[in-house]
Structure 1
C-alpha cells in the first residue's frame, strides 16, 4: 500500500482520489465533446495514462478515440507514434507550426505541457489559427504561484533532477523536459491569448499532493501547505478558453475603440 492509498482510501473505489486533478480536468473536457468533433491531444506523449498500471475507469474516461470524429496526437517526442489511442500522430518541432489546417480543430487538450512553452505568444497564435470559431483550448498545468511552480523556478537546474528522484521517485525520467513557466498564471494566459479573441473560463485548484517522497509525513506536509494557500496560490491551473467568432471579436474591438 502506498502513502496515497493510506491517505486517500477512496482510491480503491475506482482508482482515483477525491482531489485527482486529471479527473477534474477531464470531467470538463468530457462535458465539451460531441461525436462530430476533431480533437487534438497536444503533448500526447506515449499515452502513459493508458499504461497497464492505470485504473480501468481512468483509461476509458480519458480516451476519446471512438467518442469523437477524429483524434490527432502531437508531440515533440517521436514516442507519440506509439500512443495506443490516436487516429493520427505527428512529431512536431518545439515552437514550430502545427501540421493542421486553419480552423480545422474543435478542441485542443493540453495536459502538463504549457509549463514547457518557451514562446507564449507564438504558441497562442498557433492555437488560435487551427481552432474553429467556438473551439476550446483546454489545459492542465502547474500554477506559477503554487508550491510546485515556485519550487521549479527557484531550485537550480543542477540539483533539480536529483531532488525530483527523491520527492517523486516513481516519475519516469524520460518524462522530464525543460520548463519555462512563462504562461502559468491566469493573467499570463489572458495576456497571450487575448480577451478580444478568447473568452476565458479557467480556475485554480489543488490536486492530490505530490512531491512527498512517498512518506506519510511528506504527504501530510504537502497537504497542509496546499490547504492553507489562498486561491491564487493553489497548485494547478485548469484552463478552459474558447475562441471567439469573427463578429464577436470585431464587436469587442469597436467597443474598445469607442
Structure 2
C-alpha cells in the first residue's frame, strides 16, 4: 500500500478514560472495526482476489487510527489482488487498490462472472436504494466465485444509529456529523436509504437457496454521540441493555453456495 504519511493515533480523553485498554495496541474490547476486519482477514489467503465495493477515497490510509487497525484494513498485505469500485470518482485516488473503477448507481458491475473470492462493503449498504438493492445482491452473487464470501458492516435500521440517522434529513447530515465527528470531510457524507439494513431485508435479498447467511449485531464504542464522557456513559449503558436484534451495527457474512 502506498499513500500519504498517516497521522499518528492519539486517543481522545473520553476514549482513554472509559477504555483504558486502548493504550495496549490502540483498540478497545468493543472495537467494531477490529471485530469486522479480524473476521475479514480470517477469510483471506495469499491467492485471494478481493473487491472493495464502495471503496471510496481510502481515507483510512491517512486518518488517525492505530497501526493495528491499518494492518487489518490493508487487505493488500495478504491478498493477491484488491480491486475497488465506487459511484464517487474519488475512488480513482484510493492508494489501497490495485485497480479502481467508477460506476453509476444500479448499473451492473463491470467484472466477469466468478471473479472474486471476497467482496467487502464497509458502511456502504445503507446508501443503496430500495430500487437498486435486488440488483446489487444479484450482481454480488454473479461476480463472486462459488464458495466466496461477501462481508459487510452497516448500521442496523432499527438500532440507535439507524433511527437517529433517519430522523435527520439528508441535507442536514453534514452539519450534524461535523459536530459529532469533527474532521470528517463533507464529501465523505452520503445520503442514507436503509433498504439493506434489517435482517429481514438481508435474508430476502441473500436467499438461503443461494447463500449461507450469517448476520449478527454489534455495539462498538459510542463514537456517534461526540466526545462528551457523560454522553458516552449513557450511550454505553443503553448499548449494554439493548437486545441483540436492535444493536447499532449489523455484521454480515454471506457465502455463495458452491
Provide closer, same or farther for how the CA distance between residues 70 and 228 of structure 1 changes in structure 2, counting only shifts above 3 A: same
> What per-residue deviation string (whole Å, max 9, x for no partner) do you get for residues 33-60 of structure 1?
1111111111111112221522111111
Residue range with higher mean Cα deviation, 78-87 or 181-190: 78-87
Q: Distance in 2 between matches of 1:75 and 1:113?
A: 10
Deviation at 1:162, TM superposition (A): 2.7
Specify which of 33, 36, 54 is matched with residue 22 of structure 1. 33
Is the CA contact 1:39–1:107 (under 8 Å) kept in the aligned structure 2? yes
Question: Which residue in 2 is equivalent to 1:167?
Answer: 180
The separation in 2 between residues aligned to 1:244 and 1:49, in whole angstroms, is 32
Q: Please state how far the C-alpha of 1:156 moved relative to its aligned partner.
A: 3.1
Q: Is the 8 A contact 2:152 2:253 kept in 1?
A: yes
5 Å matches for 1:45-194? 45-51=56-62, 53-118=64-129, 119-194=132-207
Q: Does the aligned pair in 1 maintain the 2:170–2:191 contact within 8 Å?
A: no
Residue 93 of structure 1 and its aligned partner are, at CA, apart by 1.3
Give the CA deviation at 1:66. Answer: 4.1
Matched, 1:239 2:252: yes
- Provide the secondary structure at the position in 1 that maps to 2:251: strand
Structure number with greater Rg is: 1
Aligned partners of 2:187, 2:232: CA distance in 1, in Å? 24
Deviates more, 1:176-185 or 1:205-214: 205-214
Q: What is the TM-score with the length of structure 2 in the denominator? A: 0.90
2-structure distance, mates of 1:231, 1:149: 15
SS in 1 for 2:96: coil
Separation in structure 1 between the aligned mates of residue 171 and residue 61 of structure 2, nearest angstrom? 32
TM-score, length basis structure 1: 0.90
Structure 2 counterpart of 1:10: 21
1:95-126 deviation per Cα after TM superposition (whole angstroms, max 9, x unaligned): 21112111111100110000001121111001
Give 4+ residue runs of structure 1 displaced > 2 Å after superposition. Answer: 154-172
Q: Where do 5+ consecutive residues of structure 1 fail to align?
A: 246-258
Query: How far apart in 2 are the matches of 1:125 and 1:239?
Result: 16
Structure 2: gaps spanning 5 or more residues: 1-11
- Relative distance call for 1:120 and 1:164 in structure 2 (3 A) is same
**Residues 121 and 193 in structure 1, CA contact (< 8 A), matched pair in contact too:** no
Structure 1 residue matching 2:76: 3-state secondary structure: coil
Between Structure 1 and Structure 2, how many residues are aligned?
Answer: 245
SS of aligned partner of 1:211: helix
Write the distance in 2 (CA, Å) between the matches of 1:166 and 1:61: 28
